[in-house]
Structure 1
Amino acid sequence: MPGIKNEKDVILQMMIEACNDNEDYTLPVTVNVNGSIISGDLIGAERYFTEFKEAFNTDLDADKGIYESLEKAADKLSSGEEPEINYIHIAGAKLFDESGTALPSKGDVLWRGKLKEVDGFFLGKVKESS
């Protein structure tokens, strides 16, 4: 059907697989998703879940449930299960607007997006314009 994305970039998928296979492996990457530019370090899914769960306070019941679910997802990946790659994970992510301003401008942000929604990518990070 015209206008519907259903293909994943094979090269980007191979890069994600490399990050998934080695928790310490990262690649500087910039992706274009529906006109938005996201730039940072490509990381594996296990690392994403491990880092993301730390944002939740296990003293709160609602947070504890989310934390435990993320922990299970990370454990499942570390056990060697290799699910189909449907998502891309970026650490230190910055979203750039048309003027070149990065959002957020400070802090370390984890970003997760659908692999089939990525329109294009390049190796390397975009720096905020002065």
Structure 2
Amino acid sequence: MLEYIRLAEAGIEQGITLSVGGSLVTGTLVSGQKFFDLLGKEILDAKSKSIGDTQIYENLKSNYDYFGKMLSEVKDNPDDPVPLRNYVHLMSARMLFGNHSVPTSGGMLWRGKVQAVDAFFCGLITKG
């Protein structure tokens, strides 16, 4: 799993399906920086639909930019037994429950702990 995360951090995105605590999550593995960039864009989209004080959106976007920048500056040593990457980041993610998925269309951003992943395989589960 860690090697796939390293590849994502290098910009190589790929479909992956994770088993996490008995649930399946399927999506595209992306870098931490891209995850927070996309999260910031979602916040700005929400801001454009909001009325009233929108400063909270600006503050959140600023924080997400900071987190993404921090993650982009982390350098892993492949020989280090303790990885610096502790989270898996997915875009266009869906959680699967039998024949149903959440969200039902499109996808969402998803972030989970590497240690919480029980199993995984490369590839997306699509409705068939």
Matched, 1:49 2:17: no
Correspondence 1:92 to 2:80: no
What is the one-letter code of the residue matched to 1:52?
A: L
2:74 partner SS: coil
Aligned to 1:117: 116
What TM-score do you get using the length of structure 1 for normalisation? 0.80
Question: Could you give the per-residue CA deviations for residues 46-85 of structure 1, whole angstroms, max 9, x where no partner exists?
Answer: 110111111113671112111101101122233x333711
Helix, strand or coil: the match of 2:121? strand
Give the aligned partner of residue 103 of structure 2: 104
Match of 2:14 in 1: 27
AA partner of residue 91 (structure 1): M
Q: Which runs of 5+ in 1 are unaligned?
A: 1-11
Amino acid at match of 1:69: N
Query: What amino acid sits opposite 2:38 in the alignment?
Result: E
* TM-score of the two chains, using structure 2 as the length reference: 0.81
Q: Aligned to 2:27, which of 40, 43, 48? A: 40
Q: What secondary structure is seen at the aligned counterpart in 1 of 2:5? A: helix
**Which segments of 5 or more consecutive residues in structure 2 lack a partner in the other structure?**
48-52, 77-83
Distance 1:96 1:37 in 2: 5
Q: Relative to total residues, which structure has the larger helix share, 1 or 2?
A: 2
Structure 1: distance between partners of 2:63 and 2:117: 26
Taking only aligned residues, the RMSD between alpha carbons, in angstroms, comes to 1.7
Whether 1:68 aligns to 2:62 is yes
Q: Is the 8 A contact 1:40 1:91 kept in 2?
A: yes
The count of corresponding residues between Structure 1 and Structure 2 is 114
- 1:17 counterpart = 2:6: yes
CA shift at 1:96, angstroms?
0.5
